[in-house]
A and B are shown apart, each in its own frame.
Chain A
Amino acid sequence: MSVNVEISPIFGMYTDNVLNMKVEGKTVRECLHDLVRQFPTLKKLLLDKDGNLMHSYDFYVNEANVYPRDMSKPLNSGDKLNVVYIIHGG
């Protein structure tokens, strides 16, 4: 099942500036794990030791936020998953 992922531009340095990619998975967790399988340099950046998305990042499904912030949220084929860095500068 193919899900479209878009990552924040700041990740571009780890992905050769590829910001849009297709991943396989039935949940947010599976899709993120397929993402770091395709781009191993993202793994340490995005995932903690339990394989969860680190707190400095957030995800959106079909361009909307998700409550609760649950990695087991099911995704459908063709869904869009955005992974963003929580920016804080002023």
Chain B
Amino acid sequence: MLTEKDLQRYDRQIMIYGFGQEGQEKLKQTKVFLAGVGGLGSPIAIYLVAAGIGTLRIADHDTVELSNLNRQVLHWEENIGKSKVDSAAAKLGKFSSGINIETIAETITEANVSKLVGDSDLIVDAMDNLPTRYLLNKTAIAKNIPFFHGAVYGFEGRAMTVLPGKTACLNCLYHGATVPKVKFPVIGVTPAVIGCIQATEVIKYIVGLGDLLTDRLLNYDALRMKFTEFKINRDPDCEICGKTSGQVKK
């Protein structure tokens, strides 16, 4: 139930055609699982909290390092050496005291991913490696909850939204390809753009507005300031979401 304070705080977005108090109420009732609170996770968390999401459940095992601060805007010099989830929760709690922030300072593994996601309504992928992204995608398919993918490299970024059973999943897109986990180049403005796109997709999905970034991979080339798309057809033989998968454990 929206309070008088909620109505004041979110007045400008409630005004948006099709959004209304109903949309705001939906946001308030939603629990988001945010995997990673680094470069992508920072803007995602900030804008979901700003929009009035009900519960933000953040998982990240890392501690803040000086080299994170060019892009991970939720973490400041005073947080170096501290847990990222604690650092993020402290800022977000001051930003909006009405949001439930849950923190998980654990590594996401095949053994614990289902439990960590718990009863969240959707998963946002703000990780820095492909294996964990695949795990999260598989978990989203198994739990039949949406998955919001984003990734960055230098001045490039990509994003795609997955609706289990309906649209292409991350495995349809990358077919299990692997990339060595090495330090990657990036400037803060790139995850800022891609993270905001992911947060926008989450809000649209919850409120039920617009067309989602499904069956499409959005490519952002900041150096040429170009957005392009690839059509991603669902793979009927995808081992995660295809006809023969079916056995994915919840």
Residue in contact with A55 in the complex, picked from B156, B157, B173, B178, CB distance below 8 Å: B178
Q: How big is chain B's contact interface, by range?
A: 35 or more
Name the distance in Å between B105's Cβ and chain A's nearest Cβ.
Answer: 17
Name A's interface SS.
loop
Q: How big is chain A's contact interface, by range?
A: 20 to 34
Interchain CB contact under 8 A, A88 and B179: yes
A63 and B40 alpha carbons, distance in the complex (Å): 26
Query: Residue-by-residue, is B186-201 near A (CB-CB < 8 Å gives 1, otherwise 0)?
Result: 1000010000000000
Interchain CB contact under 8 A, A88 and B128: yes
Selecting from A29-37, A44-52, A79-87, the interface stretch reads: A79-87
Interchain CB contact under 8 A, A90 and B41: yes
B91 beta carbon closer than 8 Å to chain A: no
- Provide the residues of chain A in CB contact with B156, threshold 8 Å: 8-10, 87
- Provide the residues of chain B in CB contact with A87, threshold 8 Å: 151-153, 156-158, 179, 184
Interchain CB contact under 8 A, B177 and A65: no
Counting chain A CB atoms within 10 Å of each CB, the highest count among B36, B151, B177 belongs to: B177
A68 and B156 alpha carbons, distance in the complex (Å): 26
Selecting from B17-25, B48-56, B110-118, B223-231, the interface stretch reads: B223-231
- Provide the residues of chain B in CB contact with A73, threshold 8 Å: none
Residue in contact with A10 in the complex, picked from B154, B172, B173, B174, CB distance below 8 Å: B154
- Provide the residues of chain A in CB contact with B173, threshold 8 Å: 65
**Shortest Cβ distance from B190 into A: residue:** A89
B245 beta carbon closer than 8 Å to chain A: no
Interchain CB contact under 8 A, B184 and A88: yes
- Provide the residues of chain B in CB contact with A90, threshold 8 Å: 36, 38-41, 125-129, 150-152, 191
23 residue pairs A–B, Cβ–Cβ below 8 Å: A9-B155, A10-B156, A56-B178, A56-B179, A56-B180, A64-B231, A65-B230, A65-B231, A65-B232, A67-B233, A67-B237, A68-B237, A84-B219, A85-B153, A86-B177, A87-B184, A88-B129, A88-B151, A88-B179, A90-B40, A90-B127, A90-B129, A90-B191
